[in-house]
Amino acid sequence: MTSESRLEEPLTDRIRTVILGGDFVPNQRLVEADVCEQFGATRAAVRAAFKELAGEGLVEILRNKGARVRAISKAEAVEITEVRMVLEGLSAAKAAERVTAGQAAELRETVAAMRAAVEGNNLDRYSELNAVLHAKVREIADHRTSASIIERLGAQVVRHKFRLARQPGRAAVSLPQHELIVAAIVARDPEAAQTAMQQHLRSVAKALEATPD
């Protein structure tokens, strides 16, 4: 992305990208003057962006103290994953009902690339493809309400997901779960797809619970 296109991107999106990318860390104070300078924006625009991001759970606005990046505890990350389990299960079921032959081929290609990444011990690539696969399922499901909630919740726990993805052996556990999800969607079996997705995210929640604080 060029500097010109970044300037055309809405301010809220630009700040969100920086938070999710880890440039702003949990509990970091967001000084209005500094953010204005960094993004070439007015104080009014920055305050409006902070309010929007607070609504997404990424920023918290403290009385008389300004804004800071919201820290998500492990317990809250587990709860968010449990909610995602229900919503992504619905999304997988809808995807199984609506998948086309071309979309099925894309899912197969993605999960095959995930297997290659595991075999090559490329955790960064696996993590990237993991996100791609879940996004493809939401796209195929074409269920806008669940997709918007899933994406907002997923953004809140991005740091926890990154830590979990780096755990030794985690990708080898996760891969067959994703293969089952894809197999059920491609087979156009909504019940099996929902069950496979929920079992996968239940596994994620348990793995999060086991991680150190």
CA angle (159 as vertex; 51, 106 as ends), nearest 5: 100
State pTM to two decimals: 0.82
Q: What is the pLDDT of residue 119?
A: 96
Q: What is the CA radius of gyration of the chain?
A: 19
Task: Please determine, for residue 6, whether its predicted confidence score (pLDDT) is greater than 70.
Answer: no
Helix (H, G, I), strand (E, B) or coil at 100: coil
Q: What is the pLDDT of residue 81?
A: 96
Q: pLDDT, tens digit, for every residue of 153-207? A: 988 888 888 788 888 899 999 999 999 999 999 999 999 999 999 999 999 999 9
The whole-angstrom distance between residue 113's C-alpha and the CA centroid of its chain comes to 19
Give dist(CA 165, CA 23) in Å, integer.
19
pLDDT at residue 8, as a whole number? 65
> What count of other Cβ atoms lies within 10 Å of the Cβ of residue 36?
16
The per-residue pLDDT for range 43-75, each reduced to its tens digit, is 999 999 999 999 999 999 988 888 999 988 999
Where are the alpha helices (H) located in the chain, listed in sequence order?
3-8, 11-20, 32-39, 43-55, 74-98, 101-119, 123-141, 144-156, 158-165, 170-186, 190-210
